[in-house]
Structure 1
Amino acid sequence: MSAIVLNEKFEKASELALPESFSGINTHNLYLYVKSYQAGLRADTASAKTRSEMRGGGKKPWAQKGKGGARAGSRRSPIWVGGAVAHGPNTGRNYTQK
């Protein structure tokens, strides 16, 4: 049994002789194994801070009434510039496959 070796341009570079033990390999199962292995290497790094993870903003910035401005409860609110993200990505997703 032999396998074709490709170069960077996906052209046939050479042929590689394989032992007879490779003759019964199911190519689809090999594909699933490689896909599973590569998925296990994938890292979930996207993350955004929620209101509870932000620094500061524990106190109400101004009184509820009398100022004439809109109601505000915290500087950590997603409405404010520099505030938290309402529905942002969180880490912890597992990409492994069986």
Structure 2
Amino acid sequence: MDLQMAVEMKISSLEVYGDSMLVINQLLTYYEVRKDDLIPYHQMATQLLEKFDFVMLEHVPRKDNQMEDALANLVATLALTKDEVLNLPVCHR
């Protein structure tokens, strides 16, 4: 979903940080995808990544990724219309 959005926004250069070392290594083709139910997702992600001029994929351990994960989960719960804008301040405690 996020890759498709980046394609639609005509972004040419993309940095992807993921907390699953397995998924990052599968996308980098270091590992093969063995679970049949995950193959279509891998194929779709690979096809979308090919649409960018530059892509960097990097693993970030979950313990170092808590704030980003919380923001991603928050954004996933928001349902905005095409013309609706939401300003969301981010504060550190």
Structure with the bigger percentage of helix: 2
| Larger RCO, structure (CA 8 Å, separation 6 or more) | 2
Normalising by structure 1, what TM-score?
A: 0.20
Give TM-score, length-normalised by structure 2: 0.21
